[in-house]
Structure 1
């Protein structure tokens, strides 16, 4: 299930599958809602958007951001879902505890996440690419207590795992401990991504549902241009879930998609270039 050409696309004139991203805007175009919309579109989905924050960033880093008022964020979600309808949703940068609370409330209201709800992928963006904390302590508490408990699947990187669970992942054993801790917070499935596990020659992701551990191991791509990799993985997972795929199949699919994007990653500006899902355009 790792072939990233497997998702079906709608015939011309037919309404495609819809998915929603609830995330911040990246002015450099490499991550955030830009990465999510690019992934959805290239996988044949119609992308709906609820913007949570406008960032001031380029390839060198984030210089500032303006959070959107929480009721406006919730109204974007509500207005889209009640009219257009979506088959999956994902979250990215949520900026503060008030937005996290508002997003949790509107998702619960609309049947997104939770048991039997519209699949919800929570990408808990709370650490920079350098591992620095991006969310205040009260916002981390809101993630743990409100949003992660309604997640169909939560997809943190290792720095985010450390901030959320307090567990420093250094090997396979601690990766399993972290997956258990995330699952204990209430997510139906927990992913502990291994892209930052530099002790491994591969990129081992671990998926856990409270009973079974599943390992997804892809080659580590030697590139300094991986901006937006986490957003792209979460978006591709949501896209597959929107088509009714199981969580394990959706994650395997997303891993294949991101691997191809890393293989085709390109330099941009003076810093950190992005994962490149545009490989699919050149590949036809």
Structure 2
């Protein structure tokens, strides 16, 4: 017979329930490689000490090297997933990744609009693998419906330039501030631009800058040394980490610095499970140090889903 541990029998105070971690709802696709999508979001949000509420928007057929196809879920199915949980759980932040289709964007945007005080981190991946008409319809819907509700838009310099300034013809690349101005025209408060190529005047090596910017200018960021390994899942990792930190109450500039440091160390501990790209290890901090290592943080670096080279301790 089980022991009776009630207050009446023992005279002790009932055990208090520990406070729940902050909850982040992620709208994203499935990724069978585990590199990004809801799999990457769940791992990242958990690693940051928050609780993920994953809502599947589409099924993507891919491996660690490339995307082959995808099937968007019906918008009603996406909405029902979200509404079922939102009626039960209080959320502290949103993370938006790939929403599957223009119709999916519309459906998710309607859910987001019911919670205007919850901060939204939106990640814009490289969608060059979509058919041109499908891609354009998706981007137009995202621009019109999601950007007005976005606190921070995350993406690589090239992807955000193509998305926000498609007619850019300047002799120099658009600056993070100019991207922030373009995003602000649609209602987005900040952009976190990754993989901004910077050439140092003191060394022939090139660097990649990662900059949080508003229409008034750059706010904070980190510069990483350019490297030669391609990663997949980096953008989802960065944006999910940022959403989790905001959900936990961190100030934006501090959350950006911590999420960039987390991404850097995840990439430094990255591993190659197949024949394609390297996947970030979001639980690098749980691994025992290898023999001979001094336990210092990872080497400098930065990435954006499969298009940034780097040197890493891949295992």
TM bracket, shorter-chain basis:
0.7 to 0.9
Mark the runs of 5 or more structure 1 residues left unpaired by the alignment: 1-10
1:179-214 deviation digits (Å, cap 9, x = unpaired): 221222210212222x26375733212222333421
Question: What is aligned with 1:176?
Answer: 177
**For residues 160 and 241 of structure 2, what CA distance do their matches in structure 1 show?**
20
1:217 is the counterpart of 2:218 = no
TM-score by length of 2: 0.77
After superposition, the CA RMSD in angstroms is 2.6
Question: What is aligned with 1:144?
Answer: 143
**For residues 273 and 199 of structure 2, what CA distance do their matches in structure 1 show?**
27
Mark the runs of 5 or more structure 2 residues left unpaired by the alignment: 1-15, 201-205, 290-315
Aligned residues: 267
Question: What is aligned with 1:275?
Answer: 280
Shift of 1:158: 2.3
Which has the higher relative contact order, 1 or 2, with Cα contacts under 8 A spaced 6 or more apart?
A: 1
Runs of 4+ in 1 over 6 A off after TM superposition: 130-134
Question: What is aligned with 1:4?
Answer: none
2:32 to 13, 20, 27: 27
Q: Is the 8 A contact 1:95 1:135 kept in 2?
A: no
| Structure showing the higher helix proportion among its residues | 1
Matches within 5 A, 1:81-120: 81-109=86-114, 111=115, 114=116, 117-120=117-120
Q: Is the 8 A contact 2:271 2:280 kept in 1?
A: yes
Matches within 5 A, 1:43-62: 43-62=48-67
1:243 is the counterpart of 2:248 = yes
Q: Whose Rg is larger?
A: 2
**For residues 197 and 39 of structure 2, what CA distance do their matches in structure 1 show?**
26
